[in-house]
Structure 1
Amino acid sequence: MLDNKRTTPFIALFGALVLMTSAPAFAQDAAAPAAPAADAAAAAPAADAAAAPADAAAAPAPAADAPADPPQMKNAGKLSVIQMALDAQAVVKVVMIGLVLCSIFSWTLLVTKLLEYGALNRASDRFLEAFRTAKSINDMGRIGMSDEFEGNPLADMAAAAAQEVELSRQAGLAVTGAHRDSVIHRAENAVAAVQSSLGRRLSSGMQFLASVGSSGPFIGLFGTVYGIMTSFIGIANTNTTNLAVVAPGIAEALLATGIGLFAAIPSVIFYNYFQTRISAYGARTEGFVAELMNAISRQLDKGA
């Protein structure tokens, strides 16, 4: 057996050699985890720097793919009635123009008819004053054919009745006695022919007012339906429900209905007003016909 005192230095020296040879391996194993961490820390700024330009370059891409603003957005914030009419769809614009023209014609017809009826009533008043001074059937015809009352319906009626009596006389027919009623009947037929032409004259333009008053709102509604349909198609194409995009198109469409009502409402009012005036003048002519026939009957009974 070896002496412990002699073997102890050799054991200590052998352990030191073992430690010296294994130290680099332990050092490498301990440094190995740190190296990836250091590499990761060093690579992070580089990756961020490289990613920043890439993100900056990719940022405008969505703007390039975004849909263009609809035409209504060009005038957003400054809409007016005139601007909406100018920016409306072609079909809606045609509807608007047609309704505006109808409205203008309705107002023109109103002014024309008011002047016509006013002049007609004034001329009729003057004729009645002159007619009631007639002493014979010939005087009635002369007053009725006077240039002063040319074109007046009452004057035309008096002239037609007096002319019919005169034609009967010229034909050698008896105009008094037993033939009196036949003469009056022929005179009434002549007056009725003048009355029928008077009805056509006074009612001219009424059909137009009735048509505009009844169909104007529906024509405007057609423009509104077409405009709103186009607006919804634009919403589907732009994939947006933003009120700023939708509102101008719908407002333009509703403007067509507004113009339709603007054309229709005055037309209905004018139509009813003129019908009242026509009925009033018709009643006046009926009263004059009765007065005319009585005057002719009296003259025939007197043998004039």
Structure 2
Amino acid sequence: MSLAVRFSEYGATDVLRVVDVPPPTAGPGQVRLAVRAAGVNPIDWKILHGHMSQVMPLDLPGGLGSDVAGVVDQVGEGVTAFSVGDEVLGASVTPSYAQSALADPAALVAKPASVPWEVAGTLAGPGITAWEVLGKLKVAKGETLLVHAAAGGVGTFAVQLAVDRGVRVIGTAGEGNHEQLRSLGVEPVTYGKGLAERVRAISPQGVDAVLDASGRGEIPDSIELAGGPARVLSLVAFDAAGSGIQIHMSEPGAVGPQALGDILALIEAGRLRVPIQRTYPLGEVAAALEVSESGHLGGKLVLLPA
């Protein structure tokens, strides 16, 4: 048997249970992982609360999590990319808040020995998203990018990827995260009323592009600062689609391994850091999700199921 987080109805964290279940069996074209780390992301508590039930309906009882790092312990028919014993990271097809999960080898990459498990388990969702949206915004060396929620999950990756490409990055965050952003090469500004004026104080000409990972109503200011909506992209402001901005819906597909490869290369070279705020055993999943939902994090939250 294998431990897994399950819930039979949408609700608060008190509906979660850690239960013994039979480990899944790798089917054709799949591998099974002994999960070593699973990243905690905002979408997980949104799914739990039922906020995503219209677009991502679950057949309850269900589980949570897709970011994963682990050791291949079973290989399905036709799989040649990985073997039993390989250490990998990426996205799972069954919930990763568990000791055992299935994955498509095409959504995995080898885990470098130098990358800790807790870091490896956080990379797929926010890392691939950040990599994708920078491509959509076509940010180039010498340009100025404004990132809302720059210290958040996607923001932390986006700002570092952009800085590494020679982009000037201005990031909005609470004052408690300003020093961390400076350490990443970002010029921090406080979010909230008067944001546009604070950005113009350090960038009078405005900005070339905007990534909104916040959803706190910054879209009008973002359009003004970018000189129009064409190069403003939001991950969360779906109600602003009519303004002409880009709305990103993540569909990693074939770009996942390429994005993860780029990110891992930067981590190994010491040019990208993934701050970890805290790790939790599987039995403390409720606490991890409650901290995630509280916001204003200084790093990633990670479950360590083993």
Per the TM superposition, whether the score is higher than 0.5 is no
Q: TM-score range by the shorter chain?
A: under 0.3
Richer in helix (by share) = 1
TM-score (norm 2): 0.20
Higher RCO structure, 1 or 2 (CA under 8 Å, sep 6+): 1
Richer in strand (by share) = 2
TM-score (norm 1): 0.20
